Structure 1
Amino acid sequence: MLAHDEISQPVVSRDEWLAARKELLAREKELTRLRDDLNAKRRALPCVKVEKEYVFDTTAGHKTLGELFDGRSQLIVHHFMFGPGWGAGCIGCSFTADHIEGTRVHLEHHDVSLVRVSRAPLTEIDAYRQRMGWQVKWVSSHGSDFNYDHQVSFTPEEIAQGDVTYNYTTGNVSIEDLSGLSVFYRNADGEIFHTYSTYGRGDELVDSTYMLLDMTPRGRNENGPHRNLMDWVKRHDEYESAT
């Protein structure tokens, strides 16, 4: 349990609360309209044709990027931080995976396939997937340029030189793998196009725990040394109540 202070909101009459709530509702509606406009602009982004043939190691053998669409025209890739020899996947990525796991069946019935991709060998990935009880397809890009080309994995040389591009800026990182989401489209001729990628906090909108916490008086309550989910989130089988 997180330590916390008492909430600081004033206590008012129901009528005063209702007036304040309606004022906030106007701002919420404004945000909804802005989000709708942003989503439209995201869909209108130009795309880039994928010329390289990427091959992944899967439980059904080697598969190309096109085959990961599984007959659908759209593909969402969850770039999951899990490098060779890690033993377990990133806690933050595991947090995200818990949330998007339940979307799979709905996405697949709406022309979208969902796949996780990590650099770890398939044997390590599959052991962790089974531990977590996840069903979303998870493939290995081990030996492929896929993660590097999509700027979620970095060579030791890039890290040493401080010449790493992540989230569309260049700077320093301390680890070889980071997270993100990428979206692809496949046309009737089998051509594949990269339409969108988001990194950093860009993927937290799929973390519904955050959306619910944002409605509560204490909010995310991330007041530890990291000031983020690393202060409190654990893999779902590592909480005390999970034992």
Structure 2
Amino acid sequence: MPEHKVGTREEFEAARQELLAEEKALTRRGDELARKRRELPWVPVEKDYGFETESGTRSLADLFDGRSQLLVYHFMFGPPYEAGCPVCSSIADTLDPNAVHLRARDVTLICSSRAPLDKLLAYRERMGWSFDWVSTVGGDFHRDLGFLYTEDELKPFFEGGIPPTVSQMAEACGTDVLGYVTEGPGLSAYALADGTVHRTYVTTARGLELAMPYYGLLDRAPLGRHEEGEDTHWLRRHDEYGTADPARPA
């Protein structure tokens, strides 16, 4: 534990009240951004996407499952992967128990990946999840949203050198670095109105932290995220903590 300023209870309470005012301002700013997010223009989805599901091939409209809203988490699990991305897996740990509450508010939540459906369902069973997981028919669905990259598009990334954490995650997924970074994570949202599917929102990168609550909790722990200077990522699949070599797929 590093050295840290130690003060009196009175000093703590005074500093805490100052911080609380800033936290409340941030909350109000978050409410304002949520309103603006809802006010984004809706874009009709004109392409006829197909998905392999446990119920056979279905369209994007079919995935709403009788509701008017759909959230899709684009899970990094490409065709060459032997196991899902550990970071996406940590996100799925959060999504899974929330799906039932979202359904109560007219929202269907699913995951979408490009790996064959049998791989996805076997991994879902390993992880103990129950959300619906679909396999895209072709790569257009993820590609059109910016979550699938070509080798040419990735050249600048490779020219800058491969971060150790990327090599670690590729190994954990049972693929090479190119196979790993070809995929990208993301969240997309849709509304079904008058028989037409509209795309209403898309986010990636730190926009996904809403589904990574462990970071919010770490931000409130004494040492915070404490990731600076680490050559490997601390995150593991939930069934790999404490194993001798958690970077390898089961």
Shift of 1:159: 3.4
The 3 A distance-change label for structure 1 pair 225 and 16 is closer
2:236 matches 1:222: no
CA deviations 1:170-212 (Å, max 9, x no partner) are: xxx952101010000101x210100100011110122111111
TM-score of the superposed pair, with normalisation by structure 1: 0.87
8 Å contact kept, 1:224–1:231: no
1:186 is matched with: 192
2:92 is matched with: 97
2:237 is matched with: 235
CA deviations 1:197-235 (Å, max 9, x no partner) are: 001111012211111111111011113445xxx620101
Structure 2 residues without counterparts, runs of 5 or longer: 158-176
RMSD over equivalenced CA pairs, Å: 2.0
The 3 A distance-change label for structure 1 pair 8 and 142 is farther
Write the distance in 2 (CA, Å) between the matches of 1:209 and 1:203.
12
2:117 matches 1:145: no
Shift of 1:241: 7.2
Write the distance in 2 (CA, Å) between the matches of 1:82 and 1:91.
10
8 Å contact kept, 1:156–1:176: yes
* Candidates 129, 135, 141, aligned match of 2:124: 129
Which segments of structure 1 move beyond 6 Å, counting only runs of 4 or more? Answer: none
Shift of 1:155: 3.0
Higher RCO structure (Cα 8 Å, ≥6 apart): 2
Write the distance in 2 (CA, Å) between the matches of 1:140 and 1:34.
37
The 3 A distance-change label for structure 1 pair 193 and 17 is same
Shift of 1:142: 3.8
2:171 is matched with: none
Shift of 1:158: 3.8
* Candidates 16, 25, 50, aligned match of 2:20: 25
Structure 1 residues without counterparts, runs of 5 or longer: 1-5, 163-172
How many residue pairs were aligned? 224
